[in-house]
């Protein structure tokens, strides 16, 4: 096994117990914490791959796959490297690299053995033109239903409900009605626009929702809650969704609107 590597539980979620490790002694040091959040008590050590991370959404109907979207999955630096804090559509990879990513996303959904449902493959596009699979689950990823709806007009919740009820999913439900750049910016602290501490006051979201390009926004904390520096998925305490003429403009608008959030805290 070469280093750096990624240590994580085989059957947990939310990035709990996930660590980037640089040596075998670090694996031994982190292993108890990883095993503590694994229901089966097992862990896995994976190769760390540099590249552009992506989220895919694949709809499976009677064993046939339709790739709905591929978007970039950005994460903060440091300890929280596994936590996505920005989803950005469309993906930045292009040309043959994008076509390979599309094929790998569909192949990952087929590898699950999923006949009817929604698959959520997470990929990494490497600098040498390759694409690797990080993981693939039979679910809609966090805030992916919102991103897909705003970016393409496809309603994943309706699709999943129809599948669960045994109803047909016609082609027009999985076909994009439009395509536009969309950025989902999760609200986090350190790094991020939110202050860390015990919440004493939460301001109005109206300035955020009224900001240019903003499509939706939410803020979860209430007075008494503790906001801590981002380490796991549950440290995401809200979101801003914005659009623009380009990916860069959509992200800039989401970042600007996120800076308008008003929260006051005291030391926790």
Mean pLDDT, range 227-231, rounded to an integer: 92
In whole numbers, what is the pLDDT of the chain averaged over residues? 94
Q: Mapping DSSP to helix (H, G, I), strand (E, B) and coil, where does residue 182 land?
A: strand
Residue range 125-137, pLDDT digits in tens: 999 999 999 999 9
CA separation for the pair 261, 219 (Å, rounded): 8
Say whether domain 52-174 belongs to CATH 3.60.9.10: no
pTM of the model: 0.92
Residue range 154-210, pLDDT digits in tens: 999 999 999 999 999 999 999 999 999 999 999 999 889 999 999 999 999 999 999
CA separation for the pair 159, 81 (Å, rounded): 32
Say whether domain 182-266 belongs to CATH 3.90.600: yes
Indicate the pLDDT class of residue 15, thresholds 50, 70 and 90.
confident
How do the domains of the chain map onto residue ranges? 5-47, 52-174, 182-266
CA separation for the pair 132, 247 (Å, rounded): 24
Residues of the chain above pLDDT 70, percent: 100
Indicate the pLDDT class of residue 141, thresholds 50, 70 and 90.
confident
């Amino acid at each position: 096994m070469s280093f750096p590597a990624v240590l994580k539980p085989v059957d947990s979620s939310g990035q709990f117990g996930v660590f980037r490790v640089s040596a075998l002694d670090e694996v031994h040091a982190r292993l108890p914490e990883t095993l503590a959040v694994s229901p089966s008590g097992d862990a896995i050590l994976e190769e760390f791959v540099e590249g552009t991370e992506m989220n895919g959404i694949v709809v499976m109907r009677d064993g046939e796959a339709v790739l709905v979207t591929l978007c970039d999955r950005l994460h903060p630096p440091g300890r929280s490297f596994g936590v996505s804090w920005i989803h950005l559509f469309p993906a930045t990879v292009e040309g043959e690299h994008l076509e390979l990513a599309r094929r790998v996303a569909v192949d990952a959904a087929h590898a699950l053995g999923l006949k009817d449902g929604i698959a959520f493959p997470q990929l990494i596009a490497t600098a040498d033109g390759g694409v690797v699979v990080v993981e693939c689950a039979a679910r809609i990823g966090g805030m992916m239903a919102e991103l897909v709806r705003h970016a393409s007009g496809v309603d994943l919740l309706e699709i999943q409900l129809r599948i669960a009820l045994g109803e047909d999913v016609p082609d027009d439900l999985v076909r994009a009605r439009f395509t536009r750049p969309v950025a989902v910016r999760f609200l986090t602290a350190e790094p991020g626009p939110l202050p860390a501490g015990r919440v004493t006051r939460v301001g109005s979201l109206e300035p955020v929702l009224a900001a240019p390009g903003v499509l939706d926004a939410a803020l979860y904390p209430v007075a008494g809650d503790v906001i801590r520096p981002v380490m796991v998925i549950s440290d995401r305490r809200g979101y801003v969704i914005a659009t623009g003429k380009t990916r860069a403009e959509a992200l800039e608008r989401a970042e600007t609107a996120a800076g308008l959030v008003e929260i006051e805290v005291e030391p926790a």
